[in-house]
Structure 1
Amino acid sequence: MNANPFFGLFAVWIGWAGGFLLLYGLQATGCRAGWDGDMIGPISVLRLLLVAATAGVVLVLLALWRKAGREGPASSLARIAGLANGAAILATLCFAGVLWLRMCT
């Protein structure tokens, strides 16, 4: 099977962008709906949803990274794609703010 070499280069970054939009939209919706005031024990419903969504996004990105690494022959583009996708995985650290930042102002 001949894979598109650019899938491996952009797969995880496209997934990262989708995850960012999902988290941003979830936060905006949750703030507007007042989910930050609804509590389940010591944690707000909004924070719980954001943490769960973040974990889901990271799992999807790791799966994409693994799939992208198996696509196509080992070439310079494949090595560059591996590094670029690794950078996308590291960029998910910006999602960690859902653990301690204020949800709504």
Structure 2
Amino acid sequence: MHELSLAENMLQIIEESAAEQGFIRVKTVWVEIGQLSCVEKDALRFCFSTVVDGTVAQQAVLEIIDIPGRCRCVQCGCEAAISTLYDACPNCGCYATDVIRGNEIRISEMEVE
């Protein structure tokens, strides 16, 4: 379950930010999760609520922002929406595509006190 390590990494980022910026409580954390990142959102929510227990983010609400997948075809150069990593180019049918968006996971914003 890589969601546990993701939650632990998120907590590390939050705690480092708290030390640098001097906030004492995190109310909300917004996380951008790409459709192609293979993250199970419910599992991430559960893991996050577990790892933040007893920390500055103890009562933080985790808000997930979905980022759609996009690719660029190596053969024709077409950019298109994709829903899985190995979708074919909708323009030419080629399976040689490069993901250009949708595999990222990042904290985009935090509401703190």
Larger proportion of strand: 2
Larger proportion of helix: 1
> Relative contact order, CA 8 A, sep 6+: which one is greater?
1
**TM-score scaled to structure 1, two decimals?**
0.32
**TM-score scaled to structure 2, two decimals?**
0.30
